[in-house]
């Protein structure tokens, strides 16, 4: 599984990155996690950050920020 957290490094983006890492750890999913901070790369996927991409599919964009349980659900739905 390929997971990308899209964000410029702001507090909300850092929060989502940590939530994603925790969700993957709890699910024990083998994955590659990439924190994309390049604005040109981010704009290929979303208009608002933070964004979450699983296997090249945008599953979250902007606010409200998902919690660990919501991210776990998104991961399971997009495996």
Q: Which of 3, 5, 6, 13 is catalytic?
A: 13
Confirm if 30 and 64 have CB atoms less than 8 A apart.
no
| 25 in active site | no
| 13 in active site | yes
Q: Which of 2, 10, 33, 63 is catalytic?
A: 10
Distances (CA, A) of 31 to 27, 57, 75: 11, 15, 10
Q: Which residues are catalytic?
A: 10, 13
């Amino acid at each position: 599984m390929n997971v990308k957290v899209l964000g410029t490094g702001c507090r909300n983006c850092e929060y989502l990155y940590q939530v994603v890492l925790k969700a993957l750890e709890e699910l024990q999913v083998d994955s590659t996690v990439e924190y994309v901070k390049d604005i040109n790369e981010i704009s290929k996927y979303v208009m608002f950050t933070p964004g979450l991409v699983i296997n090249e599919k945008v599953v979250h964009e902007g606010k409200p920020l998902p919690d660990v349980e919501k991210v776990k659900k998104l991961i399971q739905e997009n495996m």
